[in-house]
Copies of this chain bind each other. A is one copy, B any other.
C-alpha cells in the first residue's frame, strides 16, 4: 500500500515517507482536495495517526515546502560554485532549477508554486524568507552577467521571465522524449544572452 516514489532530499523516516506521499497527492489533486485520510492511506496508517507527526494538515504542506526549498537552495549554491565564468554559472543555474522542476523534486516544486495561498499568513511569511535567499543566488549571477554586458534587460525582469519559462515546464516537458534537460537548458540560456 505505501510506496510513493520518494522525493530527493527527504529521508525515509515515517515522517519523511509521509511528506513524500503528501507532496505526491498535493500535486495530483491539490492541497484542498487531498484529505488527511488520503495521505494516511498512501502510507498505510490510520488518518488520526498523522497528527502524531504533524500538528495540522497545513503543517505538512509547510514542511514539504521547507524541505524542498532548503534542498534546492543548496543545489543552486553548488551550481554556482561548480562554474568558472558567469555564463557557465547561469547555464548551471538553469540546469539545476530545471532538474528540480521536472526531475527529482518535481512534485514538491509544483506544490510550492501552486499551493502557496493554502498556508496561513505567518507560515507564508516564513516560506517567503527562505524563497528570498534562493532568489538572491539568481539575482547575483544575473547581475554579474548584466554588468558584463551579456544582456541589456533589467536583471530583475529577466529573472521573472526565467521563472516563468522554467516554472511552466512541468506542464509539458517529458523526461522520456528527444529533448534532454541539458538541451532545454541551453535553449533557455539563449533566451537570455542571445543565440550564437
Q: Residues of A at under 8 Å CB distance from B?
A: 29-30, 32-33, 114, 117-118, 151-153, 157, 160-161, 163-169, 171-172, 179, 184, 187-188, 190-191, 194-195
Contact = CB atoms under 8 A, between A and B. Distances in A.
A167 B160 CA distance: 11
A41 to B, nearest CB: 20
20 contacts: A30-B117, A32-B32, A114-B114, A151-B195, A153-B187, A153-B190, A157-B184, A160-B168, A160-B169, A161-B168, A161-B187, A161-B191, A163-B168, A164-B164, A164-B166, A164-B167, A164-B169, A167-B168, A194-B194, A194-B195
Given A30-B32, A164-B167, 9 more contacts: A29-B117, A33-B118, A157-B187, A161-B187, A163-B168, A164-B164, A164-B165, A164-B168, A167-B168
B30 A118 contact: yes
A175 to B, nearest CB: 15
A188 B161 contact: yes
A181 to B, nearest CB: 13
A51 B170 CA distance: 36
